[in-house]
Amino acid sequence: MPRSVNEFEVVVQLSTQSAITRMRSQLRFEAAALQLLSATTGDVVRPPPQPVLNMKSAAPLDVHAPAEPVQEQVLMDCASRRWPP
């Protein structure tokens, strides 16, 4: 939940006509203009090798859904702040 006008939430959601079981992608951002405050990955996203908050300008989004293919899924929920405030 945003605490000031400089803070906002970004939800990355997958929506596709064809069900998928695997996909590689990245959430990229300009570190000079944006500070990532928190990030929570969705159920079908593999945990990144390091915490997302330690990543300077990109976060991997590796979808891995071996049990059931997915068509609609939240991949990541991020709280961010314009930087510098």
pLDDT in tens, 1-60: 556 778 989 898 989 898 888 888 888 888 888 888 888 888 888 877 677 666 778 777
SS (H, E, C) the chain: CCCCCCEEEEEEEEEEEEEECEEEEEEECCCCCEEEEEEEECCCECCCCCCHHHCCCEEEEEEECCCCCEEEEEEEEEEEEECCC
- pLDDT band, residue 73 (cuts 50/70/90): confident
What pLDDT score was predicted for residue 85?
Answer: 64
Q: Is the pTM of this model over 0.85?
A: no
What pLDDT score was predicted for residue 34?
Answer: 86
